[in-house]
Amino acid sequence: MAGTPGPDPPADGGGEARPAWDSKLQYLLSCVGFAVGLGNLWRFPYLCQTYGGGAFLIPYVVALAFEGIPLFHIELAVGQRLRRGSVGVWTAISPYLGGVGLGCFTVSFLVSLYYNTVLTWVLWYLLNSFQHPLPWSACPLDLNRTGLVQECRDSSPVSYFWYRRTLNVSADISDSGPVQWRLLLCLAVSWAVVYLCVIRGIETTGKAIYFTALFPYLVLTVFLVRGLTLPGAMQGLTYLFTPDLRVLQSPRVWLDAATQIFFSLSLAFGGHIAFASYNPPRNNCRRDAVSIALVNSMTSLYASIAVFSVLGFKAASDHGQCLDRNILHLINAFDLPEQSVSRDTYTAALARLNASQPARVAGLPLEACRLEDFLDKSASGTGLAFIVFTEAVLHMPGAPVWAVLFFAMLFSLGLSSMFGNMESIITPLLDLGVMPRRVPKEVLTGLACLLCFLTATCFTLRSGSYWLEIFDQYAAALNLILLAFFEVIGVVYVYGMKRFCDDIAWMTGRRPGFYWRATWKVVSPLLLLTIFVAYTALLASSPPRYKAWNPRYERFPSRQEKPYPGWVLAACALLSFLPTLWVPVVALGQLLARCREKTRDPLQDGRPKPRGGRAC
Amino acid sequence: MGDIIDAENAFKVRLSIRTALGDKAYAWDTNEEYLFKAMVAFSMRKVPNRETTEISHVLLCNVTQRVSFWFVVTDPSRNHTLPAVEVQSAIRMNRNRINNAFFLNDQTLEFLRIPSTLAPPTDPSVPIWIIIFGVIFCIVLVATMLLILSGIQQHRRKHKGPSEMEDTEDKCENVITIENGIPCDPLDMKGGHINDAFVTEDERLTPL
């Protein structure tokens, strides 16, 4: 095999050499940074907790083995072999498949819009963490200084800071309100930081990734060590990891595990294809795929241990405070000496008082304090980061330090994912030759970042967070699954399994074995199709609703469930299908162009072209 | 005290000494009660028309182990209790002095039904987040400018590169003879310096 000349290398766009990684480590860190993102921190622990703790790892590992790693290997191999961004790669495989690349490009654009908005919120919290006491620790005073602000009093200082002082959220999605200037400033800085890092493509991101990819691990370790030494951490961890195997019977678990692996590895964005295209042609992409996927999953586990030790501490602390409030009521009502009832003797004292004066005890506003209830309060997504964890940090000694560390970690986690997103936008643009060759790369990246910034200002409106949820649920999910399905089908059936295996043998030195060929040919496409159907069924089963923060709601602070207005539903539908529409549109366009060519020039016979082009 | 106690004008006080002071907590005895009466009388004396309030006009009763009790302030004739509003405003004005006398604060020395004025928030003139924001923004701006400028310099150097080579060759023909592209300087003062042109000729001839 070593003696055979490799397959013809595809012509590089233009006379300039393609940029290359400084070292293999840079490439690995970039892929790891792209894959490891905010979801590893705030989605995986929530799924673990909801789906029976350690038992969730079973569907997770199954999905990793049969869906995650095979798809990841395809992306890296295809990018490394064809040495183009996502649009170029699919056009090279077959002109009819060019729509897949465009679809990936569109989805990356939409995702980077709202992903950087989340980073904006993280940045806002980071900026506000440099003070003691932290601004979300106490309610502010109302206008005439006689009491606390009503909204804050009814909910909690942490929720108030998030919904009012950060988002200034409106009560309804149709009520857009003005642009929030604070968030706009943070958005500008956020995009400026992204531009600073991607300004010259992998030349600059390659340097930045050393910090942004490794810093989160350092902070996670610090939090892990600190968290494990806090009281209540062990209860949190045991509660999290105690397996409950009965949950495996519900199909919902398997669906969530499959989607989690899919989005966690950032598949079908085109970012990994772009990163792999800068590799030297002979690079063991199989080993890279397996190792990066494993690192990603290990990070999820590591992060969930750190997160849950802190949340266990928070639950224990809240439970203790609940008991203290009850004890205070008892002491005040019965005029018992201070500290005569401790947390341990509370139940005995309550029983004694209930036996002697049940009527008075019944009149007291005592809460039921059970540790399991506090441990059950799980949250995912922004709720975990901005409400639950910020409250947990308040209880830790030296709160501002922990807050700064936490939000700095979130920011660098998100930033390294943003590098991948921006690569999947900029590399196709460069390969397509959108700008004339004289124009330096800095201008192209600047224009891309500027366009994204201007479009993302719609998320700084008062209804911005509702729109972000829509984008998160509808723009990314279904499109990515469909595009990944087309990717697998495109490589295996259009490019040809034999040719693909030959390429991989040339690149890595070994032909892919039975596991790879079986998963690529049968298992992964079937899995993807099943996930797509199940996901669509799930979304369609209940009319889409959203939870609004409405201070005037009678059951405030519970969030009010409202249905989406008609025009918003239309926007949801558009977002769900527009990116994938590129695939049939481009295929049809190519078909029409070929037919027109053939009818115009009948002398050119329909010899099948070697590059997989189909005769009309 | 039962006959003159007027529930309307009496206030309940609750102290949480152990919560506030921990190990340094003092015991609540009659001397502390005397101090309390003195502080209340002091507060009342600050009210216009009530400057003649004496310690004996303040009555305490129902002292419990919690440390809570009721108190009223009577007028000099000891027949009527002072209206609640007056007592309320007097206590509110001097709340800080009363708290300090007992090393307590608004939460550990509670006057039920007398709300305390909340402390005004200590907002710095410029919110801290704006300062950090300015710092980060300046750093990012400076770094971006540096990168863009270095990029422009590299670009210019790459474009000027080939034309610079031609200029030096023209100059060399006037000053230094070029043999095979290598400038040879016969007046080289370095001594012991290998004449590159000579060496190249040798190499060319040797294999023959």
Q: What pLDDT shows up at residue A178?
A: 92
Does B132 sit within 8 Å of A130, measured CB to CB? yes
Rounded to the nearest angstrom, the minimum Cα separation between A333 and chain B is 10
Q: Report whether pLDDT(A587) > 70.
A: yes
Between A435 and A268, where is the model more confident? A268
- Partners of residue A613 on adjacent β-strands: none
Rounded to the nearest angstrom, the minimum Cα separation between B45 and chain A is 26
What DSSP state is assigned to residue A56? Answer: G
Rounded to the nearest angstrom, the minimum Cα separation between B196 and chain A is 34
Q: Report whether pLDDT(A135) > 70.
A: yes
- The arithmetic mean of pLDDT across residues A273-284, rounded, is 92
Query: What's the mean per-residue pLDDT of chain A?
Result: 88
Angle between helices B128-175 and A441-456 (to 10 degrees): 160
> Which residues of A are known binding-site members?
33, 35-36, 40, 264, 296, 413, 417
CB contacts, 8 Å: B121 with chain A: 140-141
Q: What is the rounded distance in angstroms from the CA atom of residue A413 to the CA atom of residue A296?
A: 12
Q: Does residue A79 sit within a domain?
A: yes
Q: What pLDDT shows up at residue B53?
A: 84
pLDDT confidence band for A14 (50 / 70 / 90): very low
From A66-70, A202-206, B185-189, the region with the lowest mean pLDDT? B185-189
What token pair was written down for A34?
Answer: 């792209």
Q: What pLDDT shows up at residue A3?
A: 40
Q: Does residue A196 sit within a domain?
A: yes
Q: Does residue A607 sit within a domain?
A: no
Q: What pLDDT shows up at residue A497?
A: 94
Q: What is the rounded distance in angstroms from the CA atom of residue A518 to the CA atom of residue A430?
A: 35
Does A196 sit within 8 Å of B147, measured CB to CB? yes
Cβ neighbours for A122, distance < 8 A, ≥ 6 positions apart: A385, A407, A410, A411, A414
Between A198 and A239, where is the model more confident? A198
CB contacts, 8 Å: A128 with chain B: 128-129
Q: Report whether pLDDT(A290) > 90.
A: yes
Q: Which CATH number goes with the domain that contains A424?
A: 1.20.1740.10
Q: Which of A201, A202, A286 is nearest to A27 (CA)?
A: A202
Q: What pLDDT shows up at residue B2?
A: 54
Element (H, E) at A159: helix A157-160
Of A124, A193, A338, the CB nearest to B19: A338
Q: Does residue B100 sit within a domain?
A: yes
Q: Does residue B56 sit within a domain?
A: yes
Between A505 and B160, where is the model more confident? A505
Q: Which domain holds residue A454?
A: 24-147+181-307+404-460+468-545+564-595
Q: What pLDDT shows up at residue B56?
A: 87
Q: What pLDDT shows up at residue B164?
A: 56
CA A261 to chain centre: 11
Q: What pLDDT shows up at residue A613?
A: 43
Q: What pLDDT shows up at residue A6?
A: 46
What DSSP state is assigned to residue A463? Answer: T
The torsion of the CA quartet B18, B24, B30, B34, rounded to 10 degrees, works out to: -100
Of A131, A146, A442, the CB nearest to B128: A131
From A38-52, A494-508, B4-18, B54-68, the region with the lowest mean pLDDT? B4-18
Q: How many contiguous H segments (helices) and E segments (strands) does chain B have?
A: 6, 6
Buried/exposed A429-458: b ≥16 CB within 10 Å, e otherwise: bbbbeeeeeeebbbebbbebbeebbeebbb
Q: What pLDDT shows up at residue A63?
A: 93
Q: Does residue A392 sit within a domain?
A: no
CA angle A105, A108, A114 (to 5 degrees): 150
**pLDDT tens digits, residue range A155-181?**
889 999 999 999 999 999 998 889 999
CA B111 to chain centre: 32
Q: Report whether pLDDT(A25) > 80.
A: yes
Q: Does residue A114 sit within a domain?
A: yes
Q: Does residue B144 sit within a domain?
A: no
pLDDT confidence band for A437 (50 / 70 / 90): confident
- The arithmetic mean of pLDDT across residues A535-562, rounded, is 87
Q: What pLDDT shows up at residue B183?
A: 55
Q: What pLDDT shows up at residue B163?
A: 58
- The arithmetic mean of pLDDT across residues A118-143, rounded, is 91
Q: What pLDDT shows up at residue A59?
A: 93
Those residues of chain B that have pLDDT short of 70 are 1-6, 118-124, 161-208
Does B118 sit within 8 Å of A147, measured CB to CB? yes
Q: How many domains does chain B have?
A: 1
Q: Does residue B142 sit within a domain?
A: no
Q: What is the rounded distance in angstroms from the CA atom of residue A32 to the CA atom of residue A7?
A: 29
- The arithmetic mean of pLDDT across residues A568-592, rounded, is 90
Q: Does residue B35 sit within a domain?
A: yes
Does A192 sit within 8 Å of B137, measured CB to CB? yes
Q: How many domains does chain A have?
A: 1
Q: Does residue A413 sit within a domain?
A: yes
> Which residues of A are known binding-site members for Na(+)?
33, 35-36, 40, 264, 296, 413, 417
Q: Report whether pLDDT(A196) > 90.
A: yes
- The arithmetic mean of pLDDT across residues A44-56, rounded, is 87
Q: What pLDDT shows up at residue A298?
A: 95
Cβ neighbours for B52, distance < 8 A, ≥ 6 positions apart: B45, B76
CB contacts, 8 Å: A203 with chain B: none
Rounded to the nearest angstrom, the minimum Cα separation between A140 and chain B is 8
Cβ neighbours for B143, distance < 8 A, ≥ 6 positions apart: A196
Amino acid symbol at A348: A
Q: What pLDDT shows up at residue A350?
A: 87
Q: What is the rounded distance in angstroms from the CA atom of residue A447 to the CA atom of residue A453?
A: 10
Q: Does residue B206 sit within a domain?
A: no
Q: Does residue A386 sit within a domain?
A: no
pLDDT confidence band for A123 (50 / 70 / 90): very high
Q: Does residue A2 sit within a domain?
A: no
A547 φ/ψ angles, rounded to the nearest 5 degrees: -105, 120
Chain A residue set in contact with B, beta carbons under 8 Å: 124, 127-128, 130-131, 140-141, 145-147, 185-186, 189, 192-193, 195-196, 199-200, 204, 331-332, 335-339, 440, 442
Q: What pLDDT shows up at residue B59?
A: 87
Rounded to the nearest angstrom, the minimum Cα separation between B53 and chain A is 29
CB contacts, 8 Å: A189 with chain B: 133, 136-137, 140
From A520-534, A580-594, B163-177, the region with the lowest mean pLDDT? B163-177
- The arithmetic mean of pLDDT across residues A468-483, rounded, is 89
CB contacts, 8 Å: B140 with chain A: 189, 192-193, 196
Query: Would you call A546 helix, strand, or coil by DSSP?
Result: strand
Q: What pLDDT shows up at residue A5?
A: 43
Q: What pLDDT shows up at residue A295?
A: 96
List strand residue ranges (DSSP E) for chain B, in order.
11-15, 58-61, 68-73, 109-111, 177-179, 182-184
What token pair was written down for B204?
Answer: 């060319």
Q: Which domain holds residue B11?
A: 2-111
Query: Above pLDDT 90, what percent of chain A?
Result: 56
Does A140 sit within 8 Å of B18, measured CB to CB? no
Q: Does residue B159 sit within a domain?
A: no
Which range in A64-78, A589-603, B53-67 is most confidently predicted, on average pLDDT?
A: A64-78
**pLDDT tens digits, residue range A366-413?**
888 888 888 887 777 888 889 989 999 999 999 999 999 999 999 999
